[in-house]
Chains A and B, each alone.
Chain A
């Protein structure tokens, strides 16, 4: 009955305006928050192997380098300089083999006969996050190898056709053993190797550092080789600094590697702006609701004052209002979460799928918590406003 007399004079215009505002604002806020979470979790398979912010840098090969007048090696000072950069968190020069390497098939393992000169390089194990055994020691059955993904493309779509042998699947290449021919300074040897993974980011043939160190010692000339490629890990969103560094040191960086970081940052900024707009809409609708309840309260001022005169506690009058607000906000919150999910699943995800972008689904629990937090803020601010207004009405009676 309290509800009947207190809400008797409430107008619909303000209510619809405030409800729509809150609905749009909360939906936009939830959506931008959820998409931010999704984008945070965005990564290609490659980044799984080498971490999201790792790139390989090397100096550009120029005409002068071809003439032997310009060295592409990194000096110790340059490496130390990289370590000093604030946006770089880890620096690891590639180690190269100090001996010649060739690979051939192991008969009976399914690969066509081949023999190819190769090279080996290694990076510290901490950069690798392969789900395979990357450990190597003297007793290991084989030497694990990571090949560039482009390598198998060249074989399958170039060499295989021109040489007239069958194409090789990644699975076959990973299942088959390879013979590693080592031609050292003073002696030669053969070892068994096996491809354990492919990399998009590193155009090099990688073996475990432990193997390279041991092989360099056994077969190498003993001369120290300056690295010409360096693996670095940067902090988030530092592609700007990275590009600056590229210009400064005349570096070459696999563009695709930084594109992901770039896109993530740009999307992050766009979603951020969208999120700020959503917060503004939310604040406006919050004000709308506070004004709406103010209006309802002032239109019901006679009823509120009379109730207080009849001995109705302030608490029960406030409770009647808040109950109603809770139902309204509850519905708005539930509707916002539903609309957000519908937009995410049927609009955003469909669009992403169409464009070949796969975002890993992140949990919606944080978004629901955010929506509930907004719900709490709405209720609390209205509660404080209503209580104050009812008290004031009681005092001026």
Chain B
């Protein structure tokens, strides 16, 4: 997958200066599969960047192309197809279903492509230390636990690009590192890449490319 940025700039960030290194107002391409980190302080537009690529924000100038096609021309059905087949995401606000149990949240996503078996999903929960929460309602979990559920959910489909918006903000370094290793392994298995946004910590991982805002 190739993502092309042509002078892309969200309207809310128009009044701020952007350097040559910034993803805003510059022309460049991202070639996936590649493991990419986007490191920036708060308020620079990390979530905006992720949401624009995922088709959730349209308030920008310039162009954003995925595999040569301008995403401004994508229909809702095009986006849904892309999200089902090629692009996965861990939202900063997680967007789990609070009334469903941990395992139901995972099954709901997995039903779309039958990407993993129940056993494999349970192994992931165990690996991230929340195997015992399998049948608990998501709304009763701590934020850190919910974050791990959201991470696993994002891995339950084939993807060429996995977008993660501060996925470890509520995890300690050790758990973040375990999760990142799992993400990396699944990314390789899918022969895909990811873009991970972070507030500064690299979680001891060697990324192939770093972007700045």
Are A308 and B99 CB-contacts (below 8 A) given A1-B107, A1-B108?
Answer: no
| B-side interface residues, number (CB < 8 Å) | 23
Complex interface: chain A residues within 8 A of B89 (CB)? 309
Q: Report A's interface with B, CB cutoff 8 A.
A: 1-2, 4-5, 8, 303, 306, 308-314, 391, 394-395, 397
Q: Which residue of B lies closest to A391 (CB)?
A: B76
Q: Which residues of A contact B186 (CB under 8 A)?
A: none
Contact of B95 with A by CB under 8 A: yes
Interface residue B189 (Cβ < 8 Å from any Cβ of A): no
Q: Are A313 and B100 closer than 8 Å at their CB atoms?
A: no
Q: Which single member of A5, A306, A308 contacts B76 (CB below 8 Å)?
A: A308
A contact residues around B104 at 8 Å (CB): 1, 4
Within the complex, the shortest CB–CB distance from A150 to chain B, in Å, comes to 79
Knowing A311-B112, A311-B157 touch, does A5 contact B80 (C-beta < 8 A)? no
DSSP majority for the A interface?
helix
Cβ proximity bits B107-146 to A, threshold 8 Å, 1 near / 0 not: 1110110000000000000000000000000000000000
Task: Say how far A316's CB is from chain B's closest CB, in angstroms.
Answer: 9
Contacts of B97 in A (CB 8 A): 5, 303, 306
Mark each residue of chain B from 81 to 99: 1 if its CB lies under 8 Å from any CB of chain A, else 0.
1011100010100010101
User: Given A1-B100, A1-B108, A4-B100, does the pair A306, B80 have CB atoms closer than 8 Å?
Assistant: no
Chain A positions within 8 Å of B109 at CB level: 310
CB neighbours of B111 from chain A (8 A): 1
13 example contacts (A-B, Cβ-Cβ < 8 A) are as follows A1-B100, A1-B108, A5-B108, A8-B99, A308-B80, A309-B83, A309-B95, A311-B83, A311-B85, A314-B76, A314-B77, A314-B80, A391-B76
**B72 at the A/B interface (Cβ < 8 Å)?**
no
Give CA–CA (A1, B109) in the complex, Å.
11
Which of chain B's residues have a CB closer than 8 A to the CB of A391?
76
Which A residues are in CB contact (< 8 Å) with B76?
A: 308, 314, 391, 394-395
Contact status A313-B83, CB under 8 Å: no
Q: Are A313 and B80 in contact (CB under 8 A)?
A: yes
Q: Which residue of B lies closest to A393 (CB)?
A: B76
Q: For the complex, what is the distance from the CA of A282 to the CA of B104, rounded to whole Å?
A: 39
Which residue of chain B is the closest to A5 with respect to CB atoms? B97
- The answer to whether residues A397 and B112 also contact, given A309-B83, A311-B157 and a CB cut-off of 8 A, is no
